[in-house]
Amino acid sequence: MSHSIRQNEENDSMPVSLISIFWTFFRIGLFTLGGGMAMSLVMRHELAIKRRWVKDADFMSLMSLATVVPGAIAVNIAYLLGRRMRSHIGAVMAVLGTILPSFFVILIVAGVFLPFISNPKVTAFFRGCAIAIVSQLAFTGFIFGRTLLRNWKQCAVCAAGMIPACVFGIHPIFGIITAGVLGYWLLPKKKPEGAGGNAPTA
């Protein structure tokens, strides 16, 4: 028992190899549909829950930062996570692993499927994929909501972010700003955690 605990601690302290970072993000980018938010759920499972390369709390903080800065969410998250694990070179490997699958797949789609895009069967196939992506995004919202919305203050911040766009039809950026300001005043300010900690749960 004590030997396995020591072994886990040693594995946690060992730096993640650059090849492992690239290959993990490459597989995530290759087999995930639905864009950055759907991909973020897979990243959390692979990096924080399964491999424990980052703590779950750290992942959620980095994801929050990635969603409020300009750019593709998947690339932003990959950059921040890669930089967290192996500095700038880790960020480069994570970003390359994330974007290369999309680059190659779109080349194949453009070269093979584009001439048949007007075919009713092909159109029906891509519409079915779009519906599946909606379900993935809904599941992503459910998982992150279950993780983050645990009291009335967090629910109030969430509502403040939704109301400007859903009720008044204004730009979502105002919802983000409103939620950020309200979160600053309502949510507790936690001190950064040290190394180690309990393993996250799914």
What are 135-160's pLDDT values in tens digits? 888 888 888 888 888 899 999 999 99
Q: Which long-range contacts (CB under 8 A, 24 or more apart) does 190-197 make?
A: 193/55, 193/57, 193/58, 195/13, 196/9, 196/12, 197/55, 197/57
Dihedral class, residue 69 (left if φ above 0, else alpha if ψ from -120 to 50, else beta): beta
Residue 130 has pLDDT above 50, yes or no: yes
Return d(Cα 141, Cα 28) in angstroms, integer.
Answer: 18
Residue 185 CB-density burial (10 A; 0-12 exposed, 13-18 middle, 19+ buried): exposed
Place of tokens 């499972």: 45
E strand intervals along 67-199: none
Amino acid letter for position 137: L
Residue 199 has pLDDT above 50, yes or no: no
What does pTM read for this prediction?
0.74
Amino acid letter for position 95: V
Average pLDDT in the 160-165 region? 89
Domain ranges of the chain: 2-114
Return d(Cα 94, Cα 29) in angstroms, integer.
Answer: 10
